[in-house]
Amino acid sequence: MQGRILVVDDEKDVATIVQIGLSKAGFAVKVEYDPIEAYRKFRPNDYDLVILDVRMPDISGIELYQRLYEMDNKLKVCFFSASAAPEVTAKYRKLVNDACFVEKPVSITKLVQIVKSQIMAR
């Protein structure tokens, strides 16, 4: 097992593909489609990395991260965004330190590389 990953994305097809791909790469993957439910179920130290969609209903991935960070200040995060342009990521980096940003769509091979690098950076 390479690490424990939480994926929070309201797009079920995207979350399922990510779950299958990361699981095949040896990660233990938990998926939540509802950011509020993900917040309710979250427990500190349960995950090595959290992958959050930036745009979700009710609360954004950025806001969810901020709430989760209050419970676990060692939390590593990677954001999924339809736009990972430098000006977009610069805006979010002001809100979130040490986060990675992944532009959708991304190949599973590339995502596995990113996840491994983020976990190793601990």
In a domain, 36, yes or no: yes
> Residues 49, 119: contact at Cβ < 8 Å?
yes
Q: Looking at the domain assignment, is residue 96 inside a domain? A: yes
Residue written as token pair 């969810």: 64
Confirm if 52 and 100 have CB atoms less than 8 A apart.
no
Say if residues 62 and 40 touch (Cβ distance below 8 Å). Answer: no
Instruction: State residue 107's pLDDT score.
Output: 94
For residue 29, being part of any structural domain is answered with yes
The phi-psi region of residue 21 (left if phi > 0; otherwise alpha if psi is between -120 and 50; otherwise beta) is: alpha
| Inter-residue contact 78 to 100 (CB < 8 Å) | yes
Mean pLDDT highest for which of 1-10, 17-26, 112-121?
Answer: 17-26
In-domain check, residue 110: no
The alpha carbon dihedral of 81, 65, 6, 118 has a sign of positive
Whether 107 is covered by a domain: the verdict is no
pTM of the complete model: 0.89
Total domains present in the chain: 1
Q: Is residue 34 part of a domain?
A: yes
CATH of the domain at 87: 3.40.50.2300
Task: Give the residue numbers spanning the domain of 80.
Answer: 3-54+61-100
- pLDDT tens-digit map of 34-68: 999 999 999 999 999 999 998 898 998 989 999 99
**Which is more confidently placed, 100 or 20?**
20
